Amino acid sequence: MCRNIKILFNFDLPATENEVEAAALQFVRKLSGFNQPSKANEAAFHKAVHEITHAAQELLESLVTNSEPRNREVEIQRAKARSIKRFGPRKS
């Protein structure tokens, strides 16, 4: 799984279109191996990002859950704690 793709479902403020598009872009970059596509692949790359953004947005809108919505600030703190546990405290 791409580590840069964040969970977007079930937050107290729904994911924005920009967040969904950023996740789609990371996914296409991972699949293609391109950070920036060549001119020859640019159209296919951007088409894939657009189509995956649309599919991801449809998925998020159709999912249902009985659990309480996540709080973005709490999730950020949890991610920082996991990072410290994994990599140690940040050195200045």
pLDDT at 60: 96
Q: So where are the chain's domains?
A: 17-87
Q: pLDDT class for 91, splitting at 50, 70, 90? A: confident
CA proximity to 32, closest of 57, 49, 51, 50: 49
Of 50, 82, 79, 62, give the one whose Cα is nearest residue 14: 62
Exposure of 82 in the CB half-sphere (CA atoms within 13 A): 7
Residue-wise pLDDT for 54-76, tens only, equals: 999 999 999 999 999 999 899 88
Q: What is the DSSP letter of 53?
A: H
What pTM was computed for the model? Answer: 0.80
> Could you read off the pLDDT of 13-70 as tens digits, one per residue?
899 999 999 999 999 999 999 999 999 999 999 999 999 999 999 999 999 999 999 9
